[in-house]
Amino acid sequence: MNAPLKEEDAESALNHFAFDQQAQTAPVDPEPLKVVPLPDILNQRYHIERLLGVGGMGAVYRARDLLRAQYGDPEPYVALKTLTDSFAEYPDANALLFSEFALTSRLHHAHVVQLYGFDVDQQSQRAFITLELLKGPTLDQLIEANPAGMPWTQLREIALPLLQALSFSHQRGVLHGDLKPSNIIMAEDGLRLFDYGLGQATQGLMPGLPRLSRARIAAWTPRYAALELLNGEALTAAADVYGAACILYELSSGHHPFSRLTARQAKAMEQDKTLQRPPLLPAHLWPALKAGMAFEKNQRIDSTALLDALNSPKPGLLKRLTRRF
């Protein structure tokens, strides 16, 4: 039904195409990822139209919801995510996908992707998630389109919604686990954070979720993964902040803060000591953003504090405003 697509980024380990556009494949890749075609119609409801994209763990399709179409919905289209063949072979594969659904579906926020349902196709026995079909560029595409970086007036419209979504997730006890530009889309009606495939619940939330072994799913995207993740430590909210801060730096400057090196490589080269403020980033915002990229997690700012810092007015403006009272 669909020819397999090559992986967009050799370091990328998850799909990142929950939106309606063709995948932009890298010119040179070692091997195309295997995607066995799904049945044309899943559970007598979702008609698969085409493959939108594929990564190390998941494949995303554009599908037509026949039930919604039957009742006259003029836009009965959804994104449909299933695991790639290599992960679908695991005994707990369906539980892995359900874990993503259970985490994300509880995050009712304007800047977190909306999930519709989880199901298992009766014919193929493949689990799948349906979610909103979004149109717009992902942040990796915006980075490529702005090689000199974005002015703060433009970046602010990305940074604040992203950190609002992340802070909300953390307050709800959900960790994203794989913050990178291709997991964030600027949709027609605003930013969405998506792909919680490596996400986890913090202690005490949703105790009924399957306890999955993630030691064999070390699929962090290396250049956005915090040092502690690369060293085998558990995922924490601080790791999410590191990824988000690196993304914001890259959007502001046009290049990765550590020359696309991993945190481990950058720390060995002491690149944090020579890290400079992006010229387009207001000076009063730099200390907070830099703190988000600290290699040591106990030195990192948290998501809410980073949001508050980036949302603060210039010190001079604040004085002028408070002088009235």
The pLDDT of residue 321 is: 43
CA dist., res. 34 & res. 161, Å (int): 35
Unique residue bearing structure tokens 């990564």:
55
What is the C-alpha separation between 209 and 169, in angstroms, rounded?
17
Q: What is the structure's pLDDT at 315?
A: 72
Q: Is 65 helix (H, G, I), strand (E, B) or coil?
A: strand
- Residue 21: the pLDDT is 43
Measure the CA–CA gap between 42 and 124, rounded to whole angstroms: 8
Tokens 């080269």 map to which residue?
269
Provide the whole-model pTM: 0.84
Residue 227 phi, psi (nearest 5): -55, -40
Beta strands in the chain (DSSP E): 41-42, 46-54, 58-65, 77-83, 115-120, 127-131, 174-175, 184-187, 190-193, 200-201
Q: What is the DSSP letter of 272?
A: G
Selection from 200, 202, 310, 313 nearest residue 247 by Cα = 310
With a cut of 70, list the residues of the chain below it in pLDDT: 1-34, 36, 56, 203-219, 316-325
Give the domains, in start order, of the chain with CATH numbers: 139-310 (1.10.510.10)
pLDDT at 134: 95
State the alpha helices, DSSP H only, in 188-256.
Answer: 227-230, 237-253
Of 292, 289, 291, the closest CA to residue 310 belongs to: 289
Residue pLDDT, tens place only, 228-257: 999 999 999 999 999 999 999 999 999 999
The per-residue pLDDT for 37 is 81
Q: 10 Å Cβ neighbour count for 24?
A: 15
